[in-house]
Structure 1
Amino acid sequence: MTLGLAVPFVDPAALVAWARRADAGPYARIGVPDRIVYDNPETMVMLAAMTAVTERIRVQSEVLLAPLRDPVLLAKQSATLDRLSGGRFTLGLGIGAREDDFRAVGADHAGRGRRMDEQLATMRRIWAGEPVAPGLGPVGPAPVSASGPELLFGGFARSALARIARWGTGYICPLPPEYAVALFELVRQQWKDAGRAGEPLLVGQINVALGPESTVAEARASLLNYYAFAPELGAQSLQAMATTATEIRETVDAYRDLGAHEVMLSCWSDDIEQIDRLADLLA
């Protein structure tokens, strides 16, 4: 099982330093979260900057809110990142939940699931080199693989998870292991029912803060600020945050026991020393 790192909501220039440091190991990937109405860098731009300063680690949207974006431009951006990174780009996708993000760009919140399905079909055609519409040429560049970059999905509803077997490579589960059990099993069953070879990539994600009390306090405050729109969800997420060496080890071990192929450690404090602390703890 490998480890990934999801960066906090901090200054874009600081995140370049996070990418360089994570690239030194032992992390397999680094993820950038996505929002519109929030103080965070634009995800695809940030991933391009990270790609430029890394050589080994995978760079991933964690997860990109696809229904907020034009599918043709998203396909072109994704293929460009895939080529720039030499095939190290992972497109993590979700439909999004917060209505303010949709209102900000004039997108339909109610029809976001249907829109994502339409987007995925369009992007796959573009990556395969097919024209977007009659009379138009193909949209390049071609991705490293004709099927497109590695494609992971987040979500909880059965319909959302069904996209993994139809379109994707695997699943990102941002819930504690005790809740991930049934979701992992459903993803595996849907994969099998769809006749897919092998097995889906299963990724568990946990909120962490490791360091002095100031680091933990900052992480807690940042998480509560992020979930200010849903205080109950924020309280649940705060309770599940792993802030001690024992809690982090036990949660990672629990995901390993579930058959997870990777665990993403989601940091909420801008204390960059966490990169090395977590690596030393879980080496």
Structure 2
Amino acid sequence: MDIGVCLPTTVPGADGAQLIEFARRAERLGFHSLTVVDRVVYDNYDPIVTLSAAAAVTERIRLTTAILLAASRPSTVELAKQLASLDRLSGGRLVVGVSSGMREDDYTATGTDHASRGRRLDAMIEELREVWRGEGPVPGVGPRPVNGDIPIWVGGHSPAGLRRAARYGIGWISPGGPPQKYPEIVNRVKELWAEEKRDGSPRMGANCYVALGPGGKEAATEHMMKYYSYMGEMAAHLAKGAISEESTLRDVVDGYAANGCDELLLLSVTADPDHLDRIASVVFR
């Protein structure tokens, strides 16, 4: 199983120098991918801009949006151009993870419709690929992706989200949860994959918050209670799921690997690049 790590773009106070060092160190330590999450109405960095900066200071590590709220972007053509540009700048290292998201205010802020976001996302995925082929509503928009296309990975727990992953994506990304519950989703995605007559097997991913070291549990609670404040009491439940012990992280990594996960994406609750060394000492031993 591959291990990726999320750039701490949503951590309050994270500065540019920390994010750049985070990216450099993630590659040096051997992580498979460098990921970003997406929010509009929050004090976070834009995911595409941040990955562009990361592309400039890395050479091999895969760059992944996990997840991009693509349907909240007003222009599909503009988004296609931005993503293709990032893919070219990185030498073809981009994977575009997408989901419809939950928060209505992210859509209100960009002037897009929240209620129809699922249908819009389906249409956008098809249009993104048309633009990358040099077609689309106005043919000739460039640049072209390095390999002619960009892999699209899909998240979302709803039946529509799982179907979208099987129909359009390279696979599915879980937002989190215990590894013991993962196999039932793996099996469901594989069933849908077969119904869509897709070749091969879906790539299965999962996200997990990590806060190792002294004060890790408190740091996770503070960060996640703020980031998920819109979820009310559920935010406290999510915060309890953050991993603050090395032995627990090792068990979770082993559990996901045994239950059908192809790539585990670890989200650090701190912008301190030294946290990556703690994580790497556990997951790569």
TM-score tier by shorter-chain length is: over 0.9
Aligned to 2:21: 17
Distance in 2, matches of 1:11 and 1:99, equals 28
Write out aligned runs for 1:169-248 (5 A): 169-176=170-177, 177-213=179-215, 215-248=216-249
Classify 1:236/1:207 alpha carbon distance in 2 versus 1 (closer, same or farther; 3 Å): same
Q: Please report the TM-score for the alignment, with normalisation by the length of structure 1.
A: 0.94
- For structure 2, list consecutive stretches of 5 or more residues without a partner in the other structure: none
Q: Deviations 1:60-91 (Å, cap 9, x if unpaired)? A: 11201011112111111111111111111111
Classify 1:125/1:16 alpha carbon distance in 2 versus 1 (closer, same or farther; 3 Å): same
Worse-matched range after superposition: 52-61 or 181-190: 181-190
SS at match of 2:3: strand
One-letter code aligned to 1:28: H
Q: Please report the TM-score for the alignment, with normalisation by the length of structure 2.
A: 0.94
Is 1:7–1:268's contact at 8 Å kept on the other side of the alignment?
Answer: no
SS at match of 1:74: helix
Query: Is structure 2 residue 100 aligned with structure 1 residue 95?
Result: yes
SS at match of 1:24: helix
Distance in 1, matches of 2:183 and 2:210, equals 20
RMSD: 1.3
Distance in 1, matches of 2:24 and 2:277, equals 12
Worse-matched range after superposition: 20-29 or 168-177: 168-177
Distance in 2, matches of 1:229 and 1:270, equals 23
Write out aligned runs for 1:57-136 (5 A): 57-69=61-73, 70-130=75-135, 132-133=136-137, 136=138
Distance in 2, matches of 1:144 and 1:167, equals 20
TM-aligned CA deviation for residue 112 of structure 1: 0.4
Identity of aligned residues (%): 38
SS at match of 2:153: strand
Distance in 1, matches of 2:192 and 2:15, equals 39
Displacement over 6 Å in runs of 4+: none
Distance in 1, matches of 2:265 and 2:112, equals 30
Is 2:180–2:259's contact at 8 Å kept on the other side of the alignment?
Answer: no
Distance in 2, matches of 1:12 and 1:97, equals 28
Aligned to 1:34: 38
Distance in 1, matches of 2:104 and 2:62, equals 30
- For structure 1, list consecutive stretches of 5 or more residues without a partner in the other structure: none
- The number of residue pairs the alignment matches comes to 278
TM-aligned CA deviation for residue 144 of structure 1: 1.7
